[in-house]
Structure 1
Amino acid sequence: MAKIELRNVSKRWGSFIGVDSFDLTIEDREFLVLLGPSGCGKTTTMRMIAGLEDATEGEIWIGDRKVNDLDPKDRDVAMVFQSYGLYPNLNVYENIRFPLRVRKVPEGEHDERVRRASAMVELDDFLHRKPAELSGGQRQRVALARAIVRRPAVFLMDEPLSNLDAKLRVSTRAQIKNLSHELKVTTVYVTHDQIEAMTLADRVVVMKKGVVQQVGTPTEIYDNPANTFVAGFIGSPAMNLMDGTVTGGVFQGRDVRIGGLDHADGDVTLGFRAEDASVAGPGEEAQIAAKLYTIELLGDAVMLTVRAGGALVSVKAPKDFRAEIGEPVGFVVPTECCHLYDRKSGERTGAWHRPQGDGVPSASDAERIATTPAGPM
């Protein structure tokens, strides 16, 4: 097994910067997810680890070896791509076996290793089939088994679920999670899907335009986004973000007034999660009051959306809540669930103002969690 170290790694093509000063240690057996929108540099980072791209600057270490000058075949990594990359003329058994033949593994070991890998991904009944006879999910499992059979030091997975439909994505995601637990191999997984990141990762690296925005556990990144980009990218729905001004501890924006904030006066962006607020009951003071823009049934709840603070703001309500579009509605937003960001830079300036002694992080504690990566940066 192996630890991966990226030491100030950058990738440039002329004046274009694909990855800028990426500095991170991925621990042995850790499942790390690189998350971000298309073009943020996550796949380029993985390709540099694999040796498919040369780093312009910096060092890449796998275990105790600097691998910058090693060919991909000498780095002891196995890759699973978005495209399955199967050989159409070979059956499933031979597709899984192929890396063993290329690496000249003694033939006496082939059958046992192929069948063990196929069992892990539940393909025992399909070993005789050709790729054309398989579903998309089954083909992806063949690609996984072909990587597993190698017994590499590192798994690299580049958006392996992107070509699957919604139902298959859920089941294959569960399979990858189980395999990660069973194999205990250092894994770097690239995705733009924040649900995949939150469900699979030990740690998540959120990237934007080649720059790391935040590193942390899924819980840390969800509960304490370091900036408005992370806040707006993580979560379904994303965090509500509203522009306004804090004066004397009171945030005010269009149709919004939230008091009790421990923050200096000035222009800020205030954020909170849809599940942290509620509909104001009879006689209860609402911090947000506006007309209902839309109502969506989610099954276990309904999502209410209004226009407030210059943005669309969503709040979850009980599934039996009923209202018509255009009706006035009020929301209660607990002060302790509010996050505050600098209006210009988008960087976090405060959050989680709670009474001490209730087992919940204070503002200073949460600030530290949000801005301190879970590993070296």
Structure 2
Amino acid sequence: MHYALGEGAAMAEIELRNLSKRWGGFVGVDRFDLTIPDREFLVLLGPSGCGKTTTMRMIAGLEEITEGDILIDGRRVNDLDPKDRDVAMVFQSYALYPNLDVYENIRFPLKVRKIDPATHKDRVMRAAEMVELTDFLHRRPAELSGGQRQRVALARAIVRQPNVFLMDEPLSNLDAKLRVSTRAQIKNLSHELQVTTIYVTHDQIEAMTLADRVVVMNKGVVQQVGSPTEIYDRPANTFVAGFIGNPAMNLVEGQMRGGVFTGAGLDIPGFSLPDGKVTLGFRAEDATLEGGEELHAPIYTLELLGDSTMVTVRIGGALVSVKAPKDFRAEIGDMFRAHIPASICHVFDGDTGERV
């Protein structure tokens, strides 16, 4: 079942053309160029200060653009006020009115935009139902849990029937269990509403589970754009490799010589690459305990994860992790061996960090 948003909802393709933001000599966003198709769920992902929230604020009209253009359905919106861009934002802080009950908080955007009052009840009830708040409509925000307050903020955005949803780290104030359940709710909502959504987060699990496409950013620069699977399976550089995944990809500096990678504690044959300085990457879950001894080092630490045991060793200056079966038994300091064939490895240029 899909919920129709009504006549107010339109198609919304967003184009960001050479978008930049500078404050004096500091570059917040550098030449961001991307087309976001109608109904796509796009996640901007990166560490604090990478430019993702600044990009969203420029789209919303809350931040002035230094260079470039923003087009929504072919219409340049650079000079439009936020209220005229037909976007709805959900912030990290819930920004609810404490003196209004849930019903009036959800209804507030309809009053401000002077929507026909005869439609208010139906639209509020429909939005409340979508986020499972119908039993809480007469409560004040102070009487709600953090997760319920965030759902009120979501309903308030839904009731607007906007062309675009902008969500700025909406789950970061919630505890771990609530983050999981609210994330599932946002995923389901995006499927039901079919509205173009841009979602900002520093949490790569949120990005991987929610996005149609992910934009990985660092220091204002786009590092890679792709589906979660593409970014996980073929990271464009060592930054993306080290940022995506839990745990992040193991990265070991070394040399390629005659098709053999040699690094501190690693000797892996089977590559068809020229000699030179490289960084080798592999994921903890891709290594196995049988079949070879490419990795041979004492155990640094053991972590039981429930479905597996994470074994970490120190080789050179790097900590390297391998997922072992949950019944794996050993002690810190025991010698550990793992099979890391060339076929599971990623190779990056030793100087630029770019994928080879």
Aligned length: 346
Secondary structure of the residue aligned to 2:311 is strand
Find the aligned partners of 1:308 and 1:268 in 2 and give their Cα distance. 16
Match of 1:112 among 122, 126, 144: 122
Find the aligned partners of 2:345 and 2:266 in 1 and give their Cα distance. 13
What amino acid does structure 2 have at the position aligned with 1:293?
Answer: Y
Q: Give the match for residue 333 of structure 1.
A: 340
Q: Give the match for residue 12 of structure 2.
A: 2
Q: Give the match for residue 349 of structure 2.
A: 342
Find the aligned partners of 1:285 and 1:52 in 2 and give their Cα distance. 56
Q: Which runs of 4+ in 1 moved over 3 A?
A: none
Q: Give the match for residue 257 of structure 2.
A: 247
1:175 matches 2:185: yes
What is the correspondence of 1:65-214 to structure 2 with a 5 Å cutoff?
Answer: 65-214=75-224
Match of 2:331 among 324, 331, 339: 324
Find the aligned partners of 2:104 and 2:73 in 1 and give their Cα distance. 31
In the TM superposition, residue 310 of structure 1 has moved relative to its aligned partner by 3.0
Find the aligned partners of 2:137 and 2:185 in 1 and give their Cα distance. 18
Unmatched tracts of structure 1, length 5 or more: 350-377
In the TM superposition, residue 262 of structure 1 has moved relative to its aligned partner by 1.2
Q: Give the match for residue 223 of structure 1.
A: 233
What amino acid does structure 1 have at the position aligned with 2:45?
Answer: L
Q: Deviations over 1:21-57 (max 9, x none)?
A: 0000000000000000000000000000000011100
Q: Give the match for residue 277 of structure 1.
A: 287
Secondary structure of the residue aligned to 1:296 is strand
Q: Is this contact kept in 1: 2:254–2:277, CA < 8 A?
A: yes
Find the aligned partners of 1:162 and 1:260 in 2 and give their Cα distance. 44
Q: Deviations over 1:320-372 (max 9, x none)?
A: 010010011111012111000111111111xxxxxxxxxxxxxxxxxxxxxxx
Find the aligned partners of 1:173 and 1:75 in 2 and give their Cα distance. 26
Q: Deviations over 1:52-98 (max 9, x none)?
A: 01110000001121000000000000000000000000000000000
Match of 2:275 among 256, 265, 288: 265
Secondary structure of the residue aligned to 1:182 is helix
Q: Deviations over 1:191-236 (max 9, x none)?
A: 0000000000000000000000000000000000000000000000
Q: Give the match for residue 29 of structure 2.
A: 19
Find the aligned partners of 2:19 and 2:255 in 1 and give their Cα distance. 39
Q: Give the match for residue 235 of structure 1.
A: 245
Find the aligned partners of 2:253 and 2:67 in 1 and give their Cα distance. 39
Find the aligned partners of 2:56 and 2:355 in 1 and give their Cα distance. 28
Find the aligned partners of 1:333 and 1:24 in 2 and give their Cα distance. 37
Match of 1:298 among 298, 302, 305: 305
In the TM superposition, residue 279 of structure 1 has moved relative to its aligned partner by 1.6
1:308 matches 2:318: no
Match of 2:41 among 11, 31, 37: 31
Q: Is this contact kept in 1: 2:12–2:72, CA < 8 A?
A: yes
What amino acid does structure 2 have at the position aligned with 1:195?
Answer: I
Secondary structure of the residue aligned to 1:344 is coil
Query: TM-score under structure 2 normalisation?
Result: 0.96
Unmatched tracts of structure 2, length 5 or more: 1-10
In the TM superposition, residue 285 of structure 1 has moved relative to its aligned partner by 2.7
Secondary structure of the residue aligned to 1:83 is coil
Secondary structure of the residue aligned to 1:279 is coil
Query: TM-score under structure 1 normalisation?
Result: 0.91
Find the aligned partners of 2:336 and 2:309 in 1 and give their Cα distance. 14
Secondary structure of the residue aligned to 1:274 is coil
In the TM superposition, residue 182 of structure 1 has moved relative to its aligned partner by 0.2
In the TM superposition, residue 153 of structure 1 has moved relative to its aligned partner by 0.1
Secondary structure of the residue aligned to 2:285 is helix
Root mean square deviation of aligned Cα: 0.6
Q: Give the match for residue 374 of structure 1.
A: none
